[in-house]
Structure 1
Amino acid sequence: MTRDLTITEVRLTPILVADPPLLNTQGVHQPYTPRLIVEVVTADGVTGVGETYGDGTYLELAQPFARKLVGRQVSDLNGLFTVVNEVAVERARVEGQVDVGGLRGVQTADKLRLSVVSGFEVACLDALGKALGLPVHALLGGKVRDAVEYSAYLFYKWAGHPEGVAGEKDDWGAALDPAGVVAQARTFTERYGFTSFKLKGGVFPPEQEIAAVRALAEAFPGHPLRLDPNGAWSVTTSLKVAEALADVLEYLEDPTLGTAAMAEVAAGTSVPLATNMCVTTFAEIPEAFMAGAVRVVLSDHHYWGGLRNTRELAAICRTFGVGVSMHSNTHLGISLAAMTQVASTIPGLHHACDSHYPWQSEDVLTERLAFEGGCVKVSDAPGLGVELDRGALGVLHRRWLDDDGSLRERDDAGAMRVAEPGWVAPSMPRW
């Protein structure tokens, strides 16, 4: 039977999702974070789902983009990039601003377009897979593994959001010193079976974070460990930390900002450097690779324009002998399913992928994805293999509608000012 793959409707649902008080160098996560759920509907009634950032700049681009897709074929994935370039971006809102939510440096109109396209591309692939009876990994060339390994994503954390701030309770407790970090890691291992650990740094002076990683190494001997201060350190400090942890780190992620500084650090240490900050577009690859600035690129289909671009990135990395893993933002199950599908198709994925998903107590799926032994099984069901829970989606959308606008833009520095009124996002390098 011939299927009609014409797109007849695109639904965009902005939501606010509960987020714990996780600390980073910019501040602290807000009690709720914005996400955007994308639904693409075909003439045959097949619906595909996608997910991306939900801040205002993304919504302003996604809405006209969605209208332009009606009448096009859901299989026209290359056309998504042509169409999005036809949509004007209010550059004054993005050029030269710091994207605090992603902690990935300056936002540009081109990066914004890629992040918006990613959610639509995933939705189209999901719909196409459902229409053809094929999993997304088959549309990407087929899986090379049946399960994808993820790493425990450790954060310095408050026990709860500041008094008087609305937010959801969690049972993780505080983690503000090495003992707290180790306790958090043990909980991750007990609940999900993770065997590798990444600590979000840049929160406390480097000596304290070195002590935390050392404590992890003692508690979990031989397990892969990573540290990510989001560019909070100078070159000199980065080299000191690398020397202090050279015997236990799998890699050091973005210790300092910019390709030139990363290259200087890389030249002075044997510890592999990883990034999701100085290499976030194809145009940034040549300089970084030629300078030897990074040995692992953390891909993120939200940044790079979707799952097919993620595969292209992985192929380029293989060509230059650069490792690849996967970066994570504050995502729900749709994005985790997409990450798992594309990760299953990438040869030589030697590093466990990052995921915030265990931190998210809410989802828009009828069934949460499960971690078994630190891995997510690759679904062979048509599309992404997930089903949207419209009731849950409605609840999270109502929260977005009822918000006064203060939470519709991710602002970690603003959230920190609730607890520390004089807080300003620190200039880099912080140490």
Structure 2
Amino acid sequence: MERLQDLVLTAPRPRTPTPHPDQHRTPTSEERTALKITAVETFLVPPRWLFCRVSTDEGVTGWGEPVVEGRAETVRTAVAELSDLLVGADPGRIEDLWQLMTKSAFYRGGPVLSSAAAGIDQALWDILGKSLGVPVHQLLGGAVRDRVRVYGWIGGDEPAEVADAAAAQVAAGLTAVKVNASGRMSPVPTRAETAAVVDRVAAVREVIGDDRDVAVDFHGRFTTAAALRVLPELAPLHPLFVEEPVLPEHRERLADVVRASPVPIACGERLYSRADFLPALRAGVAVVQPDLSHAGGISEVRRIASLAEVHDALLAPHCPLGPIALAASLQVAFATPNFLIQEQSIGIHYNTGTELLDYVLDRAPFTFHDGAVRRWDAPGLGIEVDEDAVRRADAVGHRWRPPVWRHADGSFAEW
């Protein structure tokens, strides 16, 4: 855990935003109308991400993160196909380009196409903010908060290991953590399996105390029957929420789970549009978790957040990804009234050999202060991507794939 503590910086946030390399001056209104997209590049960067860079004829560039974990090469192809709609277009017409990217083909939706559009959408907002000299949250109506609370992931197979990991996160200054409820889970869990889930969460609660929060991720590994058996047992430990208690394809059972659960229910990392989220919201979920790199980018997640607000639900964007996705998520969080908490992947167990902060020139925006990220006002997404590091990483690339799990009888098990 020393690696995590080294990464979470404690230096004060600079009072004056550092200029972007491509942001030497604010173009005039005439120049802004003249901006045209000239190229869309993609970069396959370890540990498991895909970045994109959108260039314009005036030298203003935008960065985005279009990726499906384990399908990065597929999304890369989708971005290349969408670039046919983009080159030569005005990058400031974000909504029009979003409509074209998501609707101009007869076959629509799904994780690959939605993620390709999401990363490009992030880059277009980045360009617009830079061209106007303002942060994206200003373009979304202005900030409604000064700081965004974040949580960190903790790993470990045994309660003692989970407790040690939770202690490290607390030492790093976080006020909330998230833990996987289990590994492989039987369709109808035994008493021992149920007890193991409770023991893991109890170990975290004992370490973090009552003033901090623990969220629990069921990760779609539970059947509805399993979720209904385990959720009441977790209630005395007061989880912030339980995430993805059933698979997204079984969302018609969400209402049954919500009605029976004393714990707030969250879902959404595998939902990609307002239409996908509407049944979950009608089922009564308390927290929606769209991913800025999967659910249509900044444009669609803002609409999902508004839809959630109508249903008295909160926004907690999913983001076990890289710095661009996190920056886009934070820009939305700064401007969204019904925001709850933000996931971030510094020190997460997926990041082997390469870290989120390895691809930015200035780490200060991602400094944690009392478990939160302070709002920044640098233009666009507000971060400086280390383009040289990205291009070097792309020369190496990656072929990250999720593990394949099986039950004791040899049948497929949800990861």
Deviation, structure 1 residue 426: 3.0
| CA–CA separation in structure 2 for the residues paired with 1:239 and 1:423 | 24
Q: Which amino acid aligns with 2:347?
A: P
Q: Structure 1 residues 412 and 278 mapped into 2: Cα distance closer, same or farther (>3 Å)?
A: closer
- Indicate whether 1:52 and 2:89 are aligned: no
Are the equivalent residues in 2 in contact too, given 1:301–1:310 (CA < 8 A)? yes
**2:197 aligned partner:** 209
Q: Does 1:41 pair with 2:55?
A: yes
Specify the code of the residue in structure 1 equivalent to 2:346.
Y
- What corresponds to 1:139 in structure 2? 139
1:176 aligns with 2:176: no
Match of 1:67 in 2: 84
1:232 offset after TM fit, Å?
1.3
What CA deviation, in whole Å up to 9, does each residue of 1:331-356 have, x standing for no partner? 2211111111111100032x321112
Instruction: Give the secondary-structure state (helix, strand or coil) at the position aligned to 1:9.
Output: strand
Counterparts of 2:64 and 2:386, CA distance in 1: 13
Q: 1:426 maps to which residue?
A: 412
Corresponding position: 1:199 with 2:189: no
2:359 corresponds to:
364
Large movers: runs of 4+ above 4 Å? 85-89, 422-425
* Structure 2 residue 386 is the aligned partner of structure 1 residue 389: yes
Give the root-mean-square deviation of aligned CA atoms: 2.6
What are structure 1's unaligned runs of at least 5 residues?
19-32, 92-107, 156-174, 401-406
Deviates more, 1:382-391 or 1:69-78: 382-391
1:261 maps to what in 2? 253
The change in CA–CA distance for 1:200 and 1:424 in structure 2 (over 3 A counts) is: farther
Please give the TM-score of this superposition, normalised by the length of structure 1: 0.77
Contact persistence 2:43–2:390 (CA under 8 A) = no
Aligned twin of 2:226: 237
Taking the aligned partners of 1:332 and 1:176, their CA distance within structure 2 comes to 25
Q: 1:425 to 1:67 in 2, by over 3 A?
A: farther
Contact 1:65 1:87 in 2 (8 A): no
Corresponding position: 1:250 with 2:230: no
Give the helix-richer structure, 1 or 2. Answer: 2
Alignment gaps of 5+ in structure 2: 1-27, 185-192
Partner of 2:396: 399
**Aligned residue type for 1:370:** T
Relative to 1, partners in 2 of residues 1:425 and 1:139: Cα closer, same or farther, differing over 3 Å? farther
SS at match of 2:281: helix
1:385–1:81 CA distance, 2 compared to 1 (3 A): closer
1:295-341 superposed Cα distances (whole Å, 9 cap, x missing partner):
21112222221112212111111111122211123x22111111111
Q: Provide the TM-score with structure 2 as the length reference.
A: 0.80
Q: State the distance in 2 between where 1:426 and 1:213 align.
A: 26
Q: Displacement of 1:388 after TM fit?
A: 2.0
Question: Partner letter of residue 97 of structure 2?
Answer: L
Q: Secondary structure at the match of 1:249?
A: coil
- The residue type paired with residue 208 of structure 2 is F
In 1, distance between residues paired with 2:36 and 2:65?
A: 18
Structure-2 separation of matches of 1:7 and 1:233: 48
Deviation at 1:109, TM superposition (A): 4.3
